[in-house]
Amino acid sequence: TPRDIVLDVAQAIEAKNPALGAYLSWDVEKALKEADQADLSQPLGGIPIGIKDNMNVLGEPCTCGSKMLSNYVAPYDAGAIQKMRAGGAVPLGRLNMDEFAMGSSTENSALGVTRNPVDLDRIPGGSSGGSAAAVAGQIAIATLGSDTGGSIRQPAALCGCVGLKPTYGRISRFGLVAFASSLDQIGPITKTVEDAALLLNHLCGKDLRDSTSLDVEVPDFSAALGQDIKGLRIGLPKEYFISGIHAGVSASVKAAIQKLESLGAIPVEISLPHTDVGVSTYYILAPAEASANLARFDGVRYGHRSTEAKDLMEHYMMTREEGFGAEVKRRILLGTYVLSSGYYDAYYIKAQRARTLIRQDFEKAFQQVDVIVSPTSPTPAHKLGALKDNPLAAYLEDIFTIPVNLAGLPGISVPCGTVQEDGKSLPVGLQIIGKPLDEVTVLRVADAFE
């Protein structure tokens, strides 16, 4: 029964979460009540799903991994949560993340450390590190993450799960705490491609409360599975297969391409000439949007409020000084700088132009191919702390995932092999990128590969 499933998952969480730190909180009683009422005629009937701690679920914490929101309780359900509930699913548990989804290791969380189940000395990736660690650590059946520059795909790759970022606008962002509104997208992290398709069936669709959500038909994504990929054209961007990628990652991805070829796919070399400006474009636009979005955390309306302040100005400054961590402050500084008069044209406008060029690169490439493949991340999971004081090195980890968000495309990461380090088999992810709204082909290739 749904009750048994919830109790099973809750038991696994109690047993394993102390070592993994994937969940920040969970409310078994609430989930049990909901499971008792779940509509079993629905495909997700009574299945508990873990939620990244930046999506509002009525009556539950929504901390965004930040001190700023550590005692905030969500007053409503996000659009994606409502859809998922309509499919029968039961939200269970809140998953750790980099503060406000800024990071690639979950080490920027102010509320705890999350470890990679494959090797507890390593990061789970990020920012949806809790969501990936929970699935890989067998303490969630499936979870939701959010992806602004790779935050679903990269942790899925590093933990050995499947992570899908849909086309921008596929899933409502209503009730997802905004990081960079033009890039953010919710998606599933699962054990299999089949589960990803099933969950996606119950997340998509127009939501009048998110003007960027798309009013387009939602196909049956599960119907995409179990087909062959004979004759499908697979683009290999020459700019993505460069030196600097970890040799083991490179080898796994090359073997994956051979496997796709053996299944009948046709590899085609393509070019995405503006790849080299992807990361810098993102690190202007995302902080710019973040600096505006995070202005709402002023100690008046939400969350933390400084008790030390003597006047209004001090109130704002001390609340934000105390509530935000170092990476969030760094992004706000970068963002306000690139938006300030005198620098706006040189940085923000220029980055918008670069974004258009990056999108056009993909448009041209997709005239020749059906999907594009690459490594998800240039390296396997680092040791905890390895990139902590090196934000620039951390930013470069997103080189293959960021362009996909800038262009608004769907992308999935599927496990494609392992790298041996310290006696551990560290997972490697293969990224499959699709045309806008063509999740069906992305899932079809991922499923055939799997």
Report the catalytic residues: 52, 127, 151
Closest approach of ligand GLN to the CB of residue 101, in Å: 4
- Examine residue 151 and tell whether it contacts ligand GLN (CB under 6 A): yes
Closest approach of ligand GLN to the CB of residue 107, in Å: 11
Q: What is the DSSP-derived secondary structure letter of residue 416?
A: E
**Which residues have a Cβ under 8 Å from the Cβ of 174 and sit 6 or more positions away?**
78, 79, 207, 209, 210, 213
| Nearer CB in complex with ligand GLN: 179/400 | 179
- Examine residue 361 and tell whether it contacts ligand GLN (CB under 6 A): no
| Nearer CB in complex with ligand GLN: 179/347 | 179
What separation, in Å, do the N-terminal and C-terminal C-alpha atoms of the chain show? 29
Residues 165-204 as x/- pattern, contact with ligand GLN by CB under 6 A? --------------x-------------------------
Helices (H) and strands (E) in the chain, counts: 14, 11
Nearest-5° Cα angle at 376, 197 to 243: 160
Produce one character per residue of 430-447: b if its CB has 16 or more CB atoms within 10 Å, e if not: bbbbbbbbbbbbbbbbbb
Q: Considering only CA atoms, which of 258, 241, 237, 248 is closest in space to residue 409?
A: 237
Residues 239-278 as x/- pattern, contact with ligand GLN by CB under 6 A? ----------------------------------------
| Nearer CB in complex with ligand GLN: 17/104 | 104
Q: What's the gap between Cα 340 and its chain centre?
A: 29
Closest approach of ligand GLN to the CB of residue 108, in Å: 8
Contact 217, 176 (CB under 8 A): no
- Examine residue 66 and tell whether it contacts ligand GLN (CB under 6 A): no
| Nearer CB in complex with ligand GLN: 48/145 | 145
| Nearer CB in complex with ligand GLN: 149/403 | 149
Sole window of 47-55, 102-110, 200-208, 431-439 interacting with ligand GLN (rule: CB under 6 A):
102-110
Q: Which two tokens stand for residue 223?
A: 């119907």
- Examine residue 436 and tell whether it contacts ligand GLN (CB under 6 A): no
| Nearer CB in complex with ligand GLN: 104/319 | 104
Q: Considering only CA atoms, which of 59, 53, 1 is closest in space to residue 24?
A: 53
Sole window of 27-35, 64-72, 145-153, 314-322 interacting with ligand GLN (rule: CB under 6 A):
145-153
Closest approach of ligand GLN to the CB of residue 99, in Å: 10
**Which residues have a Cβ under 8 Å from the Cβ of 195 and sit 6 or more positions away?**
141, 142, 162, 188
Residues 286-325 as x/- pattern, contact with ligand GLN by CB under 6 A? x---------------------------------------
Q: Which residue is nearest to ligand GLN (CB)?
A: 151
> Rounded CA gap, 304 and 399, in Å?
34
- Examine residue 398 and tell whether it contacts ligand GLN (CB under 6 A): yes
Closest approach of ligand GLN to the CB of residue 61, in Å: 19
Closest approach of ligand GLN to the CB of residue 48, in Å: 24
| Nearer CB in complex with ligand GLN: 219/391 | 391
- Examine residue 150 and tell whether it contacts ligand GLN (CB under 6 A): yes
When binding is defined by CB under 6 A, the residue of 66, 106, 148, 275 that contacts ligand GLN is: 148
Closest approach of ligand GLN to the CB of residue 105, in Å: 9
Tell me if residue 311 falls in helix, strand or coil.
Answer: coil
Q: Are strands 143-147 and 48-52 parallel, antiparallel or unpaired?
A: parallel
- Examine residue 426 and tell whether it contacts ligand GLN (CB under 6 A): no
Residue with tokens 């045309």: 435
Please, how many CA atoms are within 13 Å of residue 166, restricted to the half-sphere of its CB? 28
* Count of residues engaged in binding ligand GLN, rule: CB under 6 A: 13
Sheet of 162-165, strands arranged across: 23-25, 90-95, 48-52, 143-147, 185-190, 162-165, 411-421, 424-434, 371-375, 233-237, 266-270
Tell me if residue 33 falls in helix, strand or coil.
Answer: helix
| Nearer CB in complex with ligand GLN: 148/172 | 148
Q: Which residues bind ligand GLN (CB under 6 A)?
A: 101-104, 127, 147-151, 179, 286, 398
